[in-house]
Amino acid sequence: MWHFADIGAGCQEAAGRGAVRGDGRAFDISGCFLYNPLRGKDPVEVTMAKDVYGSIQKELGDGRKSLSDKYRDIFVGRRGWMAFFKFGLLNWLAGFSGAFGYALRKALYPSLLGEVGKGVVFGRHLTFRHPHKIRIGANTVIDDFVVLDAKGEENEGILIGANAYIGRGAILSCKEGSIRLGDFTNVSANCTLLSETEIILGRYCFLAGNCYLVAGGNHSFRDVATPIMLQPSLAKGGIRIGDDVWLGAGVIVLDGSAIGSHSVVGAGSVVAINLPEYAFARGSRALKVEDRRGEPCAPGAPSAPSAPY
């Protein structure tokens, strides 16, 4: 079984730089700063993320693929009838309740997922996508209604360390990205982690309920004649969080951010900059309103576009 001792390493240098500011105009709908803490580069223009798995909606609307190919690419992740059979078995086992259902999942899930350590507890009604790229450490608990979505053609998928907890209704979703959670990390109910690049959490991290971490998820909106959802996705390098970090309820962490070890972020805060080790951060940002067409736009005017974050 793997170890996550070095996940927090390297975050100190990135987070210790402090906030690197930029105006974030043109591409950046969230107002984030164009600094990539994971690569150690100077502020640069954001780069295009792979658009292969931009969204299930786009995949389903692709007229070049058959229905079976779409199903395989979105849900199964592998070719061949055996892969289809294993995926169907995963879904069949998900609904059994009580001791019987627990025993079935305990016995069969390790052979259906990429890797499962000893003593892992699987709840009911779990959703798996690309299950062969999901690895779970020993004694971890996956509560009911959790989504583990490792979609992607070249990504690493989802790695969850030992003695971790994924709370009821939590969503870990890859769109060609990867998600790695360290040992003893606790992801509370209804948290969402979306990765088009990379999300890394160290050991002993604690995410309170309804936290939202998004690595990617931005769109270009320069072309006012094209719906925003059809314009290219943008990425700024992902999210890296060190060891022993507590995110309060409803915290949002945006792409390109790094949080140093032993830090605390207050409930409802929006993190769009780098936080050093032992930081105590709280508060949200004021709304900045501009017209996409470059025309004057008075704050509060009915025509002003509202930011989604």
Q: Hey, where are the domains in the chain?
A: 11-281
CB count within 10 Å of CB 196 equals: 28
Each of the 309 residues of the chain gets a pLDDT tens digit; together they read 444 444 334 333 434 433 332 333 222 223 222 223 333 333 333 444 444 344 555 555 556 666 666 656 666 666 677 776 777 777 777 778 888 888 888 888 888 899 999 999 999 999 998 989 999 999 999 999 999 999 988 899 999 999 999 999 999 999 889 999 999 999 999 999 999 999 999 999 999 999 999 998 788 888 889 988 888 878 888 999 999 999 999 999 999 999 999 999 999 999 998 999 999 999 876 667 677 777 776 555 444 444 443
Asked if residue 184 lies in contact with residue 163, where contact means CB atoms within 8 angstroms, the answer is: yes
Asked if residue 221 lies in contact with residue 231, where contact means CB atoms within 8 angstroms, the answer is: yes
> How high is the pLDDT of residue 112?
85
Residue count (the chain): 309
> How high is the pLDDT of residue 137?
97
> How high is the pLDDT of residue 20?
31
Per the DSSP assignment, residues forming a β-bridge with 135 are 115, 159
Among 2.40.110.10, 2.160.10.10, 2.30.30.830, 3.10.129.10, what is the CATH number of 11-281? 2.160.10.10
Phi, then psi, of 73 in degrees rounded to 5: -70, -40
Q: Which residues of 110-137 are buried (b: 16+ CB within 10 A; e: fewer)?
A: bebbbebbeebebbbebebbbbbbbbbb
Distance CA 241, CA 231 (A): 29
- What pTM does this model have? 0.73
Tokens for 264?
Answer: 């605390």
- The identity of residue 270, as a single letter, is V
CA atoms within 13 A on the CB side of 217: 23
Tokens for 118?
Answer: 């000893």
> How high is the pLDDT of residue 75?
63
Distance CA 95, CA 74 (A): 21
